[in-house]
């Protein structure tokens, strides 16, 4: 086994991304108390703590070594593909120039331009089809990559990463652009090697170049050659308006058509592939950066709550109890009149709270699957109202707002957001209390919660301070 100190930064970044994608696909992060404690202890931003948690998972070193082996195998396969493509390009150019007598220009153009353009059009069609083609591409890619999985020979860690797993990065969001970079690189190798071989052969040997055709009339051939000359003219080459298509060609005319042919390959084969490769590279980098920055994605709310403890975000250091009397806390508002029966209740990611026996309790909403189950139960049960419980000490985010909004839209009945753990929040001081109540009130408003925010201990509305709402 390799030394873990030899793990590259790229392998580590890919491993962290695979962990995040795997947990996001499952709907919730795995339970890893030791890794999370290590991440919290190290400090830093949320993104940095996510990275530290991933690399601190059980058997993370083995998994990273496996990812590194996959990357090495992938590089070997890519280098092999580039070499094969270059060899085929040289063979294609050499074959097109072989033969006694004159050499057909259309044959050379078909060999070095036609095949390349056809594959480029096919690639563009796949991009337009989008997701409908993604399943087929993913299936083919994973079947091909599965042949190399067992070569790694590395013990499987907590997360099993192999080429099939890495294939998700080339077929998922932004993955098609990564796959596009590799595809265009291979075709560039074919085209460049063919162009280079063609140039060398034209320099060291004399060829009689001609426009040979059986089906096209002289007028049709001239029109086709004239259209093909649009791009070479922009690069300074002469076209059929100056150079003859048939008959005995002088040395000057042969040189003119040779230059025209080389510039046509550059214009219609080399440059389009180069532009497509650069474009895919930029789009892949943009998608990667966008994914890495979007830390509010579904499935990360619980991880944020674990890795970014609330007391580190809002707290009063060495607070004087005399400065935070109970009178400084906002008075609770009007008493809430709830329906006497038919009330459904659900916890957001908290299952250990004491439950009121008079309520119909749903399973806690912890991930996408549990949210869907709650939605189905609400639709089937037709409640008179819905109480959504959450701890006041938790930090609301866009993920929480989306869950609340989904519950509100599903229930189609009055919904109240119920805050528990208010004494713990008060213990943090008046500023923290005001801020957090205002945050939950704003989140409830954005989600469309009609009933407002309730303090469950006495069934009264919580009225946030206006100053806190403006912050």
Q: What is the pLDDT of residues 93-117, one digit of tens each?
A: 888 887 545 677 888 888 888 889 9
Instruction: Determine the Cα–Cα distance for residues 441 and 396; give it in Å rounded to an integer.
Output: 10
Instruction: Determine the Cα–Cα distance for residues 267 and 285; give it in Å rounded to an integer.
Output: 27
pLDDT of residue 296: 62
pLDDT of residue 188: 95
Give the model's confidence band at 156: pLDDT under 50 very low, under 70 low, under 90 confident, else very high.
Answer: very low
Q: Smallest Cα–Cα separation from 303: which of 30, 17, 59, 58?
A: 30
Within 8 A by CB and 6+ apart from 464, the residues are 330, 434, 437, 438, 441
Single pTM value for the model: 0.59
pLDDT of residue 129: 74
Give the model's confidence band at 323: pLDDT under 50 very low, under 70 low, under 90 confident, else very high.
Answer: very low
- Model confidence over 228-246: pLDDT tens digits? 878 788 887 776 766 666 6
Give the model's confidence band at 159: pLDDT under 50 very low, under 70 low, under 90 confident, else very high.
Answer: very low
Instruction: Determine the Cα–Cα distance for residues 226 and 203; give it in Å rounded to an integer.
Output: 25
CB 208 within 8 A of CB 97: no
CB 420 within 8 A of CB 391: yes
Mean pLDDT value across residues 411-431: 82
CA geometry: angle at 301 spanning 300 and 306, to 5°?
95
Is the pLDDT assigned to residue 407 strictly greater than 80?
yes
- Model confidence over 184-225: pLDDT tens digits? 999 999 999 999 998 998 888 887 777 777 776 777 777 777
Q: Which domains does the chain have, with CATH numbers?
A: 61-293 (no CATH), 316-470 (3.40.50)
pLDDT of residue 231: 78
Is the pLDDT assigned to residue 10 strictly greater than 80?
no
Instruction: Determine the Cα–Cα distance for residues 471 and 466; give it in Å rounded to an integer.
Output: 9
- Model confidence over 42-94: pLDDT tens digits? 777 777 888 888 888 877 887 788 778 777 877 888 899 999 999 999 998 88
Tell me the three state secondary structure of residue 460: strand
């Amino acid at each position: 086994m390799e030394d873990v100190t030899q793990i590259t930064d790229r392998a580590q970044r890919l491993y962290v991304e695979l962990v995040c994608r795997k947990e996001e696909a499952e709907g919730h992060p795995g339970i890893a108390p030791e890794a999370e404690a290590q991440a919290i202890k190290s400090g830093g931003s949320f993104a940095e703590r996510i990275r530290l948690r991933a690399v601190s998972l059980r058997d993370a070193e083995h998994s990273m070594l496996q990812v590194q082996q996959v990357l090495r195998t992938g590089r070997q396969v890519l280098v092999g593909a580039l070499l094969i493509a270059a060899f085929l390009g040289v063979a294609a150019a050499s074959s097109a120039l072989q033969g006694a007598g004159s050499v057909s220009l259309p044959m050379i153009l078909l060999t070095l331009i036609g095949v390349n353009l056809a594959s480029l059009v096919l690639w563009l069609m796949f991009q337009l089809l989008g997701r409908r083609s993604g399943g087929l591409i993913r299936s083919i890619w994973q079947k091909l990559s599965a042949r190399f999985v067992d070569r790694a020979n590395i013990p499987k860690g907590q997360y099993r990463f192999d080429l099939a797993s890495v294939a998700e990065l080339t077929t998922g969001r932004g993955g098609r652009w990564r796959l596009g970079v590799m595809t265009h690189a291979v075709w560039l190798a074919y085209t460049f090697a063919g162009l280079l071989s063609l140039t060398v052969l034209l320099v060291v040997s004399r060829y009689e170049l001609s426009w040979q055709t059986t089906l096209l009339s002289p007028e049709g051939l001239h029109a086709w050659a004239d259209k093909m000359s649009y791009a070479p003219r922009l690069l300074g080459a002469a076209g059929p308006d100056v150079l003859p298509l048939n008959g005995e060609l002088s040395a000057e005319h042969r040189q003119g058509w040779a230059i025209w042919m080389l510039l046509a390959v550059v214009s219609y084969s080399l440059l389009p592939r180069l532009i497509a490769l650069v474009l895919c590279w930029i789009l892949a980098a943009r998608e990667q950066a966008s994914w890495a920055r979007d830390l509010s994605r579904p499935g990360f709310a619980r991880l944020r709550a674990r890795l970014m403890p609330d007391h580190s975000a809002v707290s009063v250091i060495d607070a004087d109890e005399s400065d935070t009397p109970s009178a400084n806390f906002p008075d609770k508002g009007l008493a809430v009149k709830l329906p006497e029966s038919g009330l459904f209740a659900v916890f957001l990611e908290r299952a250990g709270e004491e439950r009121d026996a008079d309520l119909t309790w749903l399973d806690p909403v912890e991930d996408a699957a549990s949210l869907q189950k709650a939605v189905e139960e609400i639709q089937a049960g037709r409640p008179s109202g819905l109480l959504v419980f959450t701890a006041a000490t938790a930090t609301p985010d866009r993920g929480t707002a989306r869950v609340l909004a989904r519950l509100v839209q599903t229930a189609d009945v009055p919904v109240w957001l119920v805050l528990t753990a208010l004494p713990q929040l008060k213990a943090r001081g008046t500023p923290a209390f005001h801020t957090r109540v205002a945050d939950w009130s704003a989140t409830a408003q954005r989600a469309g919660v009609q009933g407002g925010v309730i303090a469950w201990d006495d069934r009264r509305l919580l009225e946030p301070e206006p100053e806190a709402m403006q912050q």
